[in-house]
Structure 1
Amino acid sequence: MIRLPLLYIYNALSSALFYRGIFIIYLLDNGLDMTQVGVLQSLLFWTMVVVEVPSGYFADRYGRKKSLMASSILLILSAVGMLFSDQFYFFALVFILEALALSFNSGAGEALLFSFLKENGQEDEYLKHRSRISAISSVAMGLAIGLGGWLQKINFELVYIATIICVSISFFAIWAFQYESGGVIEEREKQESISIIKVLSNGGLTLNIFMLMIGLIIVEASMTMIFIYGQFVLPTKGISTEYIALTYSILQFLAAGVYLSSNFLTNRFGFRPVVITSLLLTSIIYVCFIESTGLLAVTLFLMLIMVPEIICLPLEDYFQKFLPEEKRATLLSFKSMLTSLITTLNYLVFGWMFTMYSVDTTLYTAFTYLFIAILFVLVVIYIEKRSTTYVHV
């Protein structure tokens, strides 16, 4: 399919955010303090919570391609804003623009790819292409972060200029992608007022799939919390700051290989065996990580973050097959919104526990919470009668 490379180009270049690893330093250099930085991050998060579902509804009603084009424009505007902002309130506006950009992208890209493949009779190719796109995007982001650190030594503004150039090219890539999905709601019910609440309440999901979605959200939110708080936990295991930074850099590149291997493993061993093995391995690695120190702790931390990623895309592929076409992006955005909310609750609860209790006590509590969610997911997968067939590549 000639058009698919354009989606690859779009995802790679829209992921080339050169500022991702150093934007806080840029804000501090412009006179902000860490309290203000924290407020900006909170503003970004809450803006995404508010607009996640409406942006998904926009993609379903007016087109996923239009949603991705809007995302690129908003991301360019936010990068331009960073170049010219020098006051807290201007930076706040920039962060709102970036939150809007991320929300218009969330769910729309996956929905567009799945719809395109489904229309061409290649629905079972979704996992293959999604894993490749994710791998390329991870490498692009990793390279951009590394180059951003080098560019800021010359001039910090070059970091944002490079981002603007890459995202601008990504805009033209998705504009040239001659396919549109979405707009189904508008065509089908153009004489009727459609509310987002109606879309969600009549989403067409079975109870089992809805429960699976909730279980996966809890697992994903838990692992996101561990990923972020690893910066606090690793020093307690004797790891210095420079090696912690190196660990997080390695994770970005490992993700590319994991995304590619997930497609192979699922084709080779089957969906359910891979999911069950990965989730159980995650539980074992988690306990070993709590009890480890030094280099072993770093190795186990890398494994702890990467092993669940093996099933991320196969589960997304499994979930996609149950979504009604006309509401696909809306429901994916709704899932993202719930993930963000639960992740924030995890940050608050376990952040408080790290302050009040020992690191090991907090980690074991978090493990218990995660393990219950894992068992819940495994049970739902087994009772779900619909089977998913994967084609060998």
Structure 2
Amino acid sequence: MSYAKNIPLLYIYNVLIKRVSMPIIVLYFLFHNLSFTQIGIFAAVTSFITLATEIPGGMFADVKGKKYSLILSAVFGLLTMLLFFIGDGFVMFLLAAIAYGFSGTFITGTRAALLFDTLKKLKRTSEFKKYNGRLLFYSHFFNALILIPIPFIYSINEKLPFLIGIFFFVGAIIMSCLMKEPRPDAKQNYLQTFKNAVKESRNPNIMVFLLLIMVTASFILVASKFIQPMLQISGLEIIYFGIIYALMRMLTGSGGFFVHRFHKLGLWFGIILLAIGIFGLSMGAGVIIIIAILLIKFAEGYNRIYLDDKINQSIKSSRTTILSISNFLRSLFYGILIFIFGMVADVTGVQPMFIYVLIAFLVFIIPLLIVMKQKRL
């Protein structure tokens, strides 16, 4: 089988592994009489497992194969849906949260790495931005369409969204099994892979990209965490939140889709859009807040695909491990930021908090952009 088949298979896989139960998962927990403390435990356990196994998961993909890593991610995703489907209490849902954490372990950085290595085998790495942008666009666009009817399906039977999720993950397993592993030219063991990843991460150019990804992604996640209260401040009725969330996903995908067409605008374009969006959240009202949210989501897709291309073009070996290091740094930095800005929001209120978010973002991002310009990256 040609390596080219990996590309459409990866598109389909990326659509199928999205958790379709997301819009109703908290309602499902409450339906089973769980407390918010217990719900918080699920999120904490999932985050801890993913963070603790982030880098080992990347090493597994580099040593044993990215295809097998994607298969394992889908298997753990399937187990998650099965446990939610048959479960009716804290213990089963906790096991589901653990399985979901391991699902994240094996997918972090793996899709982009498999796509880049596939294009490398085809001698078409210059097209990575285009195909990676499409990967993001298709997954977000179709996921947005799928998520719209999920609350209605949940109202018919609370178990149905998880049954749909089971079929989706079975499909993802099939898609990943059909892929062809783009093997590296030289085999490495775990120790060699880790040493190479650490050595390459110290490369000044890669270090700049790691920090840029960490800062841009973390501040976008901070802004995203407060979207629901900001929509309430805008005066939008809650019945329209689903439409906004669908638009957000489509715009994130669109931002990634158009990177290869607007790449001459550089990273500055995405950074300016993000800064304008954060400023709009801090000062806006009504429809301005909604526009600001949509700007941030477009910038999210644009910055992600632009920086994914930059770092992948710079990596020589241990690709997935380095991308896992990138995700680890982002998760760690985001955890610190959300803790700080959560306390700020308690003191100032949600909307005034965003002016401090903007100031902090500019303090972190401007020096990195200056270094990037000096190095002509």
Return the offset for 1:25.
Answer: 1.0
In structure 1, which of residues 254, 271, 284 is the aligned counterpart of residue 276 of structure 2? 284
Match of 2:62 among 57, 60, 63: 60
Q: Which residue in the other structure is 1:258 paired with?
A: 255
Distance (whole Å) between structure 2 residues aligned to residue 278 and residue 383 of structure 1: 19
Report SS of the residue matched to 2:226. helix
Q: Which residue of 2 aligns with 1:234?
A: 231
Contact 1:63 1:182 (8 Å CA) reproduced: no
* CA–CA separation in structure 2 for the residues paired with 1:204 and 1:345: 22
Which residues of structure 2 form unaligned runs of 5+?
none
Find runs of 4+ consecutive structure 1 residues off by over 4 angstroms.
Answer: none
- Work out whether residues 116 and 181 of structure 1, in 8 Å CA contact, stay in contact via their aligned partners in 2: no
Are 1:370 and 2:361 an aligned pair? yes
Q: 1:200 to 1:289 in 2, by over 3 A?
A: same
- What whole-Å deviation, never above 9, does each CA across 1:68-109 have from its counterpart, x for those lacking one? 001011110111011122221221111010111012011111
Cα shift at 1:224:
0.7
Shift of 1:114: 0.3
- Displacement of 1:204 after TM fit? 5.4
The 2-side partners of 1:103 and 1:116 are apart by 21
**Aligned pairs for 1:100-111 within 5 A:** 100-111=102-113
User: Any idea what the Cα deviations from partners look like across 1:279-298, whole Å, max 9, x if unmatched?
Assistant: 12332343233221112221
- The 1-side partners of 2:350 and 2:146 are apart by 34
Select between 140-149 and 238-247 the one with higher mean Cα deviation. 238-247
Q: Shift in Å at residue 303 of structure 1?
A: 1.4
Kept in 2: contact 1:112–1:181 (CA 8 A): no
Name the CA distance, whole Å, in 1 between partners of 2:196 and 2:42. Answer: 31
1:390 paired residue number? none
Return the offset for 1:199: 4.3
Out of 29, 45, 48, the residue aligned to residue 47 of structure 2 is 45
2:324 to 326, 333, 344: 333
Change (3 A) 1:259 1:281: closer
8 A Cα contact 1:63 1:183, kept in partner: no
Alignment match of 2:301 (pick from 302, 309, 316) = 309
Deviations, residues 240-275 of structure 1 (Å, cap 9, x unaligned): 433444322321122232222222111xxx1xx331
Secondary structure (helix, strand or coil) at the match of 1:21 reads helix
- Corresponding residue for residue 391 of structure 1: none
Q: Deviations over 1:113-144 (max 9, x none)?
A: 10110111101111111111111111222122
Instruction: Name 1:99's counterpart in structure 2.
Output: 101
Are the structure 2 counterparts of residues 378 and 183 from structure 1 closer, same or farther at C-alpha, using a change threshold of 3 Å? same
Structure 1 residues 91 and 117: alpha-carbon distance in aligned structure 2, compared to 1, 3 A threshold: same
Correspondence for 2:153 among 151, 154, 158:
151
Q: Distance in 1 between matches of 2:336 and 2:174?
A: 38
Distance 1:376-1:157 versus aligned 2 partners, 3 A rule: same
TM-superposed CA distance for 1:110, in Å, is 0.8
**Paired residue for 2:74, among 65, 72, 84?**
72
2: CA distance, partners of 1:3 / 1:194: 28
Contact 1:43 1:95 in 2 (8 A): yes
1:26-45 mapped onto 2 (5 Å cutoff): 26-45=28-47
Residues 13 and 140 in structure 1, CA contact (< 8 A), matched pair in contact too: no
Task: Supply the AA of the counterpart residue of 2:167.
Answer: I
Provide the alpha-carbon RMSD of the alignment: 2.0
Q: SS of 1:151's equivalent?
A: helix
* Unaligned 5+ runs, structure 1: 387-393
CA offset at residue 220 of structure 1?
A: 1.1
Q: Determine the structure 2 residue equivalent to 1:220.
A: 217
Partner of 2:266: 274
Q: 1:133 to 1:281 in 2, by over 3 A?
A: closer
- Deviation (angstroms), 1:197: 5.5
1:296 is aligned to 288
Preserved CA contact (<8 Å) 1:131 1:259: yes
Pick closer, same or farther for the CA change 1:114–1:288 going to 2, 3 Å. Answer: same
Q: 1:367 to 1:292 in 2, by over 3 A?
A: same
TM-score (norm 2): 0.93
Q: 367-376 or 211-220: which moved more?
A: 211-220
The structure-2 alpha-carbon separation of the partners of 1:3 and 1:89, relative to structure 1 and needing over 3 Å to count, comes to closer
Work out whether residues 141 and 249 of structure 2, in 8 Å CA contact, stay in contact via their aligned partners in 1.
Answer: yes
8 A Cα contact 1:48 1:100, kept in partner? yes
Distance of aligned partners of 1:342 and 1:106 in 2 relative to their CA distance in 1, 3 Å threshold: same
Measure the CA separation in 2 of the matches of 1:208 and 1:2: 32
How far the C-alpha of 1:6 sits from its partner, in A, is 1.6
CA displacement at 1:354 relative to structure 2? 0.7
Contact preservation (8 Å) 1:67, 1:108 = yes
The answer as to whether partners of 2:15 and 2:142 remain within 8 angstroms in 1 is yes
| Cα distance in 2 between the residues matched to 1:218 and 1:299 | 22
Moved more, 53-62 or 254-263: 254-263
Q: 244, 249, 254: which one pairs with 2:246?
A: 249
Paired residues of 2:46 and 2:100 also in contact (CA < 8 A): yes
- Which string of whole-angstrom CA distances, capped at 9 and with x for unpartnered residues, describes residues 353-378 of structure 1? 11112445421111111112221231
Give the aligned partner of residue 5 of structure 1: 8
Question: Normalising by structure 1, what TM-score?
Answer: 0.89
